[in-house]
Amino acid sequence: MLELRHLKTLHALRETDSLVEAAERLHLTQSALSHQFKELEERLGLQLFVRKTKPVRFTSAGLRLLQLADAALPLLRGAERDLARLAGGTAGRLHMAIECHSCFQWLMPTIDQFRDAWPEVELDLASGFSFAPLPALARGDLDLVVTSDPVELSGITYVPLFTYEAILAVANQHRLATKAHIQPQDLASETLITYPVERDRLDIFTRFLEPADIEPAQVRTSELTVMMMQLVASGRGVCGLPNWALHEYSSRGYVRAKRLGEKGLFATLYAAIRTDMLDAPFMRDFLLTAKDTSFASLEGVSVAR
């Protein structure tokens, strides 16, 4: 009566809180996913969730199947890893670098899970702020780079992890706090606080300010997100961050989160990998773990389109 695909679809619906995004994550059309739920409910004679509710409200039957999914799906992933080991490809090297200061929030739990699952793989992590990681990847010095700025390089494949929105953080009493959204000219008189990286790696410059030929009054840098938020909260400047990095501060009322532009400023985070490593079992598992961890732990991210 029950199949693994049913558990996966229910799990995806709970994680995304949306039929549309659940279908995208499972690489199905919304119609196909709705049909699958309807077929299962008819087979069980029970409704699994209440339609047109936000957030999605599961019935007792749906919650019971979610309990089963939480128990069974990790066991399935573990069995798949064991089978991959039996088939070979258990050992290897995964040296990676990141081009994103705020990525540690989801990357470290991913690495912890991966290390437990693949103890034979030599794992190393470096910050990509003091050197150019993509050329190092092409040379073979690295095996994976987390980046939001793909550059076409021979032998390199970019696997999308998720899409996020870049948001501006302002103090609660700031003159921009009541605006519906921020326009580039609003920042002409502001101190913009950024991570200490080149401007061509910051979306707020390359895709928001520079196209409008706007320069902030001053630029100030900080290594730590928490210090950036302290500066913003005390009125020392404004700061552009990914929505997931800003959420824990804005949700507690420390700062205000404002959309950049009327339609928002969206970007996609990628895992850049040498093409010859794409089929390595441990690499495939790392990518799946990274996506699962991101969607489970980050607020406001969506399936990359």
Q: Rounded CA gap, 303 and 161, in Å?
A: 8
Report if residue 302 sits inside a domain.
no
The model's pTM: 0.71
- Specify whether 38 is located in the same domain as 59: yes
b/e burial code for range 77-108 (CB count within 10 A of at least 16 → b): beeebeebbeeebbebebbbbbbbbbbebbbe
- Specify whether 128 is located in the same domain as 276: yes
Report if residue 130 sits inside a domain.
yes
Q: Rounded CA gap, 87 and 49, in Å?
A: 40
- Specify whether 36 is located in the same domain as 52: yes
b/e burial code for range 229-266 (CB count within 10 A of at least 16 → b): bebbbeeebbbbbbbbbbbebbeeebbbbbbbeeeebb
Q: What was the pLDDT predicted at 92? A: 79
Q: What was the pLDDT predicted at 286? A: 93
The CATH number covering residue 106 comes to 3.40.190.10
Query: What is the domain extent for residue 20?
Result: 4-85
Alpha helices in 95-186 (DSSP H): 104-117, 133-139
pLDDT in tens, 100-149: 777 777 888 899 989 888 888 888 888 755 668 899 999 988 999 999 88
Any bridge partners for residue 270, and if so which? 147, 160
Fill in the amino acid letter for 28.
Answer: L
Instruction: Name the domain count of the chain.
Output: 3
Q: Rounded CA gap, 274 and 156, in Å?
A: 5
* Final residue belonging to a domain, choices 66, 85, 104: 85
Report if residue 305 sits inside a domain.
no
Q: What was the pLDDT predicted at 175? A: 95
Could you tell me what percent of the chain has a pLDDT over 90? 56
Q: E-assigned strands of 171-264?
A: 191-194, 218-221, 238-242, 256-259
Flag residues of the chain having pLDDT under 50: none
Q: What was the pLDDT predicted at 305? A: 66
- Specify whether 143 is located in the same domain as 235: no
- Whether the CB-CB separation of 96 and 143 falls below 8 Å is answered with yes
